[in-house]
Structure 1
Amino acid sequence: MPANSLSIATGIPLLLCSVFALAIAIERICFILTRKGLSKQQKQVVLSALKQHQTNDALAVLDDSPTSYQPVIEEMMSHRDNSKAVRDEAIQIMLVRYANQLQRRMSGLITIASLAPMLGLLGTIIGLMRSFRDIGISQGPVEPSVVADGLWQALTTTAAGMLIAVFCVFLHALINSRIRHHLADAKDLLNLFSHSLELQNASGSAASAG
C-alpha cells in the first residue's frame, strides 16, 4: 500500500471520530441550554409560597414561566389526592424519563473517548511499520529523512487520538454537571411540592374529622 494511502487510512477514522464527537457535543449543548429552570427570584417566590403551604400560589408562578420539567409537575398534581408514596413514585417515574432525555447520546462521547486513543495507537503502529519498512528497503546509509515521515505519522495520530479523547471527556463531564444541577433543582422543588401537598391533605383530613 502506498505511503499516502496509509496516511489516509489511519487519518480517516480519527477524522470521523472528531466529526461525530463535535456533532454530538453541539446537539447536546444546544439541547441542555434550552432546558429551562426557575430563576433565583422565581425560586425564592415558589419556596416562600410552599413554606406557607400555598401550593396554588406556587403553581401560579410556574404557570407564568413554565419550566422544562413542567410535565413532571403536572403528573404530580394529577396525584395530589393520592398518598405521598403513590405521588412520589409517579414523580420518580417521570423524572427518570426526563433524565433519559437529558442524557441521550451522552454515551456516544464516552465511546469516542475510548475509541480515539486506540485508533491513534493503531496509526502509531502503522507509522512505525512504515519507518522500519523504509529502513529495510534503503540501499545506502539510513538518512533521517527516510524514517521521518513514518515517525511523523506515528506521533501525529497518537496526538490526534489523545486530543479527541480529552475533548470528549471534558465535554461529557461539563454537560453531565449541568444535567445533575438541573435535575437536583427539579427534585428539590418537586419534593417540596409533594411535602406541601401532604400537609394540605393532612390538614384537610383533620378539619373534616373535626
Structure 2
Amino acid sequence: MDLFHDVSQFFVRGGIFMVPLWIASLISLTVLLERSLAIRRNRVINPLLTDAIERLRYGQIPAEVEAAADDKTILGRLVRTALRNATWTKAENAETLQTKARSEISRLERGLVILEIAVGVGPLLGLLGTVSGLIKIFGNVGDQQIATQGVAIARGISEALNTTVFGLVVAIPALIAYSIFSRRVESFSVELESYCNELLSKLYTISEQETSGTTTPPLV
C-alpha cells in the first residue's frame, strides 16, 4: 500500500507533463513487446529452408525448397516469389524479388519509428516539466508568506525532478530497444539478401542446364 501511495505521489507531484510522458511510456512499451515477438529468427528465416537452398545442385531442387509454399517465414515468401517467377529472365526475377524483399523489411521495421520518437520526446517532455517546476519556484517566491514559501519551492523542485526522471525512464528503454531491433533487422536483411542471391544463382544454373540438355553430375 505504501509503495502504491509513493508511486501515485510521484506522478501527482510531477505535474501535467506526467500525462504525455505516461502515454508515451505505454505506447513505447506496447511497440517494444510487439516487435520483440515479430522480429524473431523463427519468423524471418527457417533453418530447414536455408539448408535446402545450400543443397541446391545442378538438375535438382530439394523438396524443402518446393515446399516453401507452406513456409510462413519471410524467407519462405521470398522463395515462393522466386519460384513462381522462375520462367522469367534472371534480371526480371531478381528485380521482383528485390521489391518483395524491400516490402518485407519495411514490415519488420514497422513501429521502430515510434521508439525513435519516444527516445527524443521523453527527455524533451522531462525538460518541459523541469522548466515548469522552476517557473513555479520563482513565481511563488515573494508572492507568498515566508512560512509557505518553503512548501511552494519544494513542490516546484519535486515537479522539476520527477518529470526529468520519468522522461529518462521513458527514453532509455526505448533507445535500447530501438538499437537492438534496428541491428537485428539489418542483420536479417543481409542474410535474406545472401540466401536470395544464392537461390537465384543456383535456380538459373539449373534452368540453363535443363535448357541446354546437358547433364552435369551433382556437386559433392
Instruction: Give the TM-score band, short-chain normalised.
Output: 0.7 to 0.9
The Cα of 1:52 is off from its aligned counterpart by: 5.6
Which position in structure 2 is the counterpart of 1:31?
Answer: 38
The answer to whether the 8 A contact 1:50-1:192 is kept is no
For 1:1-210, what aligned pairs fall within 5 Å after superposition?
A: 7-33=14-40, 35-39=43-47, 42=48, 45-50=51-56, 54-60=60-66, 62=68, 67-140=73-146, 145-207=151-213
Q: 1:51 to 1:148 in 2, by over 3 A?
A: farther
The Cα of 1:37 is off from its aligned counterpart by: 1.5
Q: 1:53 to 1:190 in 2, by over 3 A?
A: farther
Mapped to 1, the partners of 2:24 and 2:72 lie a distance apart of 37
Which runs of no fewer than 5 residues in structure 2 stay unpaired?
A: 1-10, 215-220
Amino acid at match of 1:183: S
Mapped to 1, the partners of 2:212 and 2:27 lie a distance apart of 60
The Cα of 1:71 is off from its aligned counterpart by: 2.1
Q: Say what the alpha-carbon RMSD is for the aligned residues.
A: 2.7
Identity in percent: 21
The answer to whether the 8 A contact 1:124-1:155 is kept is yes
TM-score (norm: length of structure 2): 0.79
Q: 1:140 to 1:45 in 2, by over 3 A?
A: closer
The answer to whether the 8 A contact 2:90-2:204 is kept is yes
The answer to whether the 8 A contact 1:127-1:152 is kept is yes
The Cα of 1:144 is off from its aligned counterpart by: 5.1
Amino acid at match of 1:134: N
Which position in structure 1 is the counterpart of 2:6?
Answer: none
Q: 1:147 is paired with a residue of what secondary structure?
A: helix
Amino acid at match of 2:143: I
Which position in structure 1 is the counterpart of 2:7?
Answer: none
The answer to whether the 8 A contact 1:17-1:116 is kept is yes
The Cα of 1:171 is off from its aligned counterpart by: 0.6
Amino acid at match of 2:162: T
Mapped to 1, the partners of 2:74 and 2:12 lie a distance apart of 50
The Cα of 1:107 is off from its aligned counterpart by: 0.9
Mapped to 2, the partners of 1:204 and 1:52 lie a distance apart of 9
Amino acid at match of 2:26: V
Is the deviation greater in 81-90 or in 130-139?
130-139
Q: 1:95 to 1:109 in 2, by over 3 A?
A: same
The answer to whether the 8 A contact 1:135-1:142 is kept is no
Which runs of no fewer than 5 residues in structure 1 stay unpaired?
A: none
